[in-house]
């Protein structure tokens, strides 16, 4: 069974925070709130014609790993709600998690924030159910104005599906989280400077319908860590899919545990 998980290079931005505390003449403390000054790196250059090539490998724990060469191209612009976005497409045969996400969304950058507009498909069909399409309405993918660990966007949803003859209520949350900024990051022997890291995380839980039994305790089942280099774009991505089910004494169509890791690493690029 194959799960496409991408090595998501999460890139995050350097923030300079200054807190000044002084005392007035009557010894009452005066605190100036912390301010964050963003370093405005161009971590996803959106000029039409830009393209990036990646080596992608997916390891499900059962050799051999699945591999592909993915090419992402910024091939046009589109207006959505009076805002201009760049449309991207992936080459035929691409298997990367981030390749798919870049392909099925439109992107724009403004004041250190990169937005994505479209959707994210969680491949539940590979577990015997139906794919879950999570709508992304100008979700923040990168925010250079916030501190590491800051949650940027949240999308919640529920679905009812029959998996292996079992009716399930599934609740899920997609979050994007800004992470640290690295002075440099090395990918396959090539070092990139000023790298911003961000995560895309899906958390889910599933219970049986009728007599409620938790078959999937709440857990992060999809974690995509992405690295973006200043002036270049996505250079590295690590996507980890994993789950652990509860044994409810009924035969299930999938193992009680499973995992897959997809890595996506840049090899060449053209950025204008």
pLDDT in tens, 201-215: 999 999 999 888 999
Is residue 51 very low, low, confident or very high in pLDDT (cuts 50, 70, 90)? very high
pLDDT exceeds cutoff 60 at 127: yes
pLDDT at 8: 34
Q: How many CB atoms lie within 10 A of CB 249?
A: 6
Q: Is the peptide bond before 20 cis (omega within 30 degrees of 0)?
A: no
Q: What is the pTM of this model?
A: 0.83
Residue 226 CA to residue 7 CA, distance in Å, equals 7
Q: Using an 8 Å Cβ cutoff, are 9 and 197 in contact? A: yes
pLDDT at 46: 97
Residue 218 CA to residue 244 CA, distance in Å, equals 10
What is the overall mean pLDDT for the chain? Answer: 85
Q: Using an 8 Å Cβ cutoff, are 194 and 229 in contact? A: yes
Percent of the chain with pLDDT over 90: 71
Q: What is the pLDDT of residues 75-91, one digit of tens each?
A: 999 999 999 999 999 99
The dihedral of CA 240, 241, 246, 251: what is its sign? negative
Q: How many CB atoms lie within 10 A of CB 46?
A: 20
Residue 221 Cα distances to 85, 175, 183, 218, 261, angstroms: 30, 12, 30, 9, 12
């Amino acid at each position: 069974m194959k799960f496409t998980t991408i090595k998501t290079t999460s890139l995050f931005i350097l923030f300079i925070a200054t807190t000044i505390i002084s005392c007035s003449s009557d010894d009452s403390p005066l605190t100036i709130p912390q301010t964050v000054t963003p370093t405005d790196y161009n971590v996803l250059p959106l000029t039409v014609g830009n393209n990036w090539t990646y080596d992608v490998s997916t390891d499900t724990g059962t050799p051999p790993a699945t591999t592909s060469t993915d090419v992402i191209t910024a091939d046009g612009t589109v207006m959505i709600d009076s805002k201009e976005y760049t449309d991207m497409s992936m080459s035929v045969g691409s298997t990367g998690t981030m390749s798919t996400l870049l392909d099925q969304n439109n992107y724009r950058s403004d004041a250190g924030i990169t937005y994505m507009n479209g959707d994210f498909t969680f491949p539940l069909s590979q577990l015997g159910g139906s794919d879950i399409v999570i709508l992304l309405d100008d979700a923040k993918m990168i925010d250079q104005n916030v501190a590491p660990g800051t949650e940027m966007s949240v999308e919640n949803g529920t679905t009812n599906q029959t998996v292996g003859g079992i009716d399930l209520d599934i609740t899920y949350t997609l979050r994007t989280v800004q992470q640290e900024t690295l002075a440099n990051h090395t990918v396959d022997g090539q070092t990139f400077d000023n790298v911003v890291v961000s995560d895309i995380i899906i958390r889910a839980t599933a219970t049986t319908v009728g007599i409620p039994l938790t078959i999937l305790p709440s857990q992060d089942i999809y974690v995509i860590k992405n690295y973006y280099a200043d002036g270049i774009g996505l250079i590295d991505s690590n996507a980890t899919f994993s789950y652990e089910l509860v044994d409810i004494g009924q035969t299930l169509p999938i193992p009680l545990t499973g995992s897959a890791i997809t890595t996506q690493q840049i090899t060449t690029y053209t950025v204008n």
